[in-house]
């Protein structure tokens, strides 16, 4: 997977991971939100690889699936910095993605990750994005309170303990974490462990 940079020759007409990163950085200047996008991407793409293996996809189809999942994760909050209200996010971003010709499956998944839109999470992509969104942010928070600030030092048991501590990372919806795992059909501990391992393997890119 490419590092968290995009080539200079990326153009709005391209609809690949490099173009998604460029669009994200055009709309989002904050480092925290960019890192959140990378964290979600990491977990979502790990699930995409698992899904590609399950489907036994040929190499070209596998690459296309991973790219779709990566782009969706990178762009799920790309409009949030400019349009943080419930009335605008993610609607403004999805309209821009439609204007630029990004696929409908991506746009629907992005709408579905915000439950208040009422858009059903009726694809594996949509369920994966929702399941990884809040959890990846929570895992980042767990890493940043470690003396080392390293996700390598985060353990499953401590994550479960902190999930029960409502004073920790208050902005993370515990309900969404639980519901996300349930919708994905994965036991919560397995879901946490899977995302934690994915983020640990990509710690350098995530700055963790």
Task: Please state, in angstroms and rounded to a whole number, the distance separating the CA atoms of residues 62 and 4.
Answer: 21
Task: Please state, in angstroms and rounded to a whole number, the distance separating the CA atoms of residues 33 and 116.
Answer: 21
Q: What is the pLDDT of residue 135?
A: 98
Q: What is the pLDDT of residue 14?
A: 83
State the helix-helix crossing angle for 59-75 and 31-55, rounded to 10 degrees: 150
Contact 97, 24 (CB under 8 A): no
Q: What is the pLDDT of residue 11?
A: 44
Q: What is the largest CA-CA distance in the chain?
A: 46
Q: What is the pLDDT of residue 9?
A: 41
- Tell whether the torsion through CA atoms of 42, 51, 162 and 37 is positive or negative: positive
Q: What is the pLDDT of residue 13?
A: 67
Task: Please state, in angstroms and rounded to a whole number, the distance separating the CA atoms of residues 109 and 101.
Answer: 15
What does each of the 208 residues of the chain score in pLDDT, given as a tens digit?
444 443 344 444 689 999 999 999 999 999 999 999 999 999 999 999 999 999 999 999 999 999 999 999 999 999 999 999 999 999 999 999 999 999 999 999 999 999 999 999 999 999 999 999 999 999 999 999 999 999 999 999 999 999 999 999 999 999 999 999 999 999 999 999 999 999 999 999 999 9
pTM: 0.93
Which residues lie below 8 Å from residue 113, measured CB to CB, with a gap of 6+?
A: 76, 90, 121, 126, 129, 130, 133
Mapped onto helix, strand or coil, the DSSP state of residue 113 is: coil
Contact 136, 196 (CB under 8 A): no
């Amino acid at each position: 997977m490419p590092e968290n940079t995009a080539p200079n020759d990326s153009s709005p007409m391209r609809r690949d991971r490099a173009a998604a990163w460029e669009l994200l950085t055009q709309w989002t200047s904050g480092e925290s939100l960019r890192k959140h996008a990378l964290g979600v991407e990491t977990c979502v793409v790990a699930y995409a690889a698992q899904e590609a293996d399950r489907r036994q996809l040929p190499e070209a189809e596998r690459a296309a699936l991973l790219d779709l999942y990566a782009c969706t994760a990178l762009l799920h909050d790309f409009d949030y910095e400019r349009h943080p209200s419930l009335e605008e996010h993610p609607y403004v971003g999805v309209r821009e993605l439609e204007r630029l010709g990004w696929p409908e499956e991506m746009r629907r998944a992005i709408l579905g990750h915000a439950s208040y839109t009422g858009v059903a999470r009726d694809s594996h992509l949509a369920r994966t994005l929702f399941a990884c969104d809040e959890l990846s942010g929570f895992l980042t928070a767990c890493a940043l309170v470690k003396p080392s600030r390293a996700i390598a030092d985060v353990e499953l048991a401590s994550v479960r303990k902190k999930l029960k501590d409502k004073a920790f990372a208050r902005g993370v919806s515990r309900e969404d974490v639980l519901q996300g795992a349930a919708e994905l059909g994965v036991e919560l501990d397995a879901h946490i462990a899977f995302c934690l391992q994915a983020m640990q393997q990509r710690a350098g890119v995530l700055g963790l």
